[in-house]
Amino acid sequence: MGAQLRVYKRRIKSVTATKKITKAMEMIAASRIVKAQRQVAASTPYATELTRAVTAVATGSTTKHPLTTEAETPTRAAVLLVTSDRGLAGGYSSNAIKAAERLTERLRGEGKEVDTYIVGRKGVAYYGFRERKVTDSWSGFTDSPTYADAKQVAAPLIAAVQQDTAEGGVDELHIVFTEFVSMLTQTPVQHRLLPLSLTQTSAGAAEESGTKGEIRPLFDFEPSAEDVLDALLPRYVESRIYNALLQAAASKHAATRRAMKSATDNAGDLIKSLSRLANAARQAEITQEISEIVGGASALADATAGSEN
């Protein structure tokens, strides 16, 4: 019985240590969420206004730019998948990977070849384990991305869009990431970044600004509209990718906090259960010891009475 009690005590000690770790990770993730939310709020207006500027240039000119013009028969697309470098975040990375796989299947069903770009070690490990081709990948900054990281990711994607498909370029650029909705809700989403859909973008911008139906002004571009687009569109892609990285980081921290809170609660429940079992084992041990003492005393008394007779 004493051996069983020692087993329970060792398990309680082990679970208690695990609970301390998960509680600390929960608190760290909670503190990082606030910073990530502020970064998302700060980057979103810039990305939105830059999108409006690109839309104004594209709709205010007749220039056919490769980054705003739909291909007649698109044959190749690039998909950028944003995952995390670390685990312990529930289904955060797996949900984003599933969304990317659904998008890839849809694009292939439309007869397009798909080049996959991945941010985060979890996505790289998933594709590597299944021996799937990855065009390029980045890692090491998913918890706290910077604009420099976004530029690093955007550079080969912009080059691929500008390159002819016969030489390995792509006709479309899609991004899959986890959008931060609230502390309890993070949703995997996919957007097409390029070619820029002018109709949808214009409608969205009009609804946000409350200028639906307003007559657009005429623009005169110097040195040319094409040069303006060449300068604006890379910034547009970089800002959108940066905003997606920040959204993904906030979502990852929220998922980690939720997972660690669940682990901490489960550890607490397990400690209570083990404590009850340990108490029961201890009570049984005490009862057995008392029974042995009483039995020994009774046997001793009987032996003493027999010797006297």
pLDDT at 209 over 70: no
pLDDT at position 74 is: 84
User: What is the C-alpha to C-alpha distance for residues 67 and 158, in angstroms, rounded to an integer?
Assistant: 9
pLDDT at position 117 is: 96
Query: pLDDT tens digits for 219-243?
Result: 666 777 777 777 788 888 899 999 9
Query: pLDDT tens digits for 66-120?
Result: 667 777 788 899 999 999 998 888 889 999 999 999 999 999 999 999 999 999 9
Nearest Cα to Cα of residue 82 among 119, 114, 135, 133 = 119
pLDDT at position 115 is: 93
Q: What's the rounded mean pLDDT across residues 151-167?
A: 88
pLDDT at 208 over 60: no
Query: pLDDT tens digits for 119-138?
Result: 999 999 999 999 999 999 99
Provide the β-strand partners of residue 152: none
Percent of the chain with pLDDT over 90: 40
Tokens standing for residue 185: 């809700």
pLDDT at position 205 is: 45
**Element holding 173 (H helix, E strand):** strand 172-180
pLDDT at position 207 is: 47
pLDDT at position 1 is: 53
pLDDT at 176 over 50: yes
* 3-class secondary structure per residue, 72-125: CCCCEEEEEEECCCCCCCCCHHHHHHHHHHHHHHHHHHCCCEEEEEEECHHHHH
Tokens standing for residue 274: 């083990």
pLDDT at 206 over 60: no
pLDDT at position 220 is: 67
At which residue do the structure tokens 């695990």 appear? Answer: 18
- Mean per-residue pLDDT of the chain: 83
Q: What Å distances lie between residue 141 and 80, 173, 184, 293, CA to CA?
A: 16, 22, 23, 67
**What is the DSSP-derived secondary structure letter of residue 21?**
H
Among the listed ranges 14-18, 153-157, 278-282, 296-300, which one has the minimum average pLDDT value?
296-300
pLDDT at position 87 is: 85
Assess contact for 117 and 280: CB atoms under 8 A: no
Nearest Cα to Cα of residue 179 among 189, 171, 167, 169 = 189
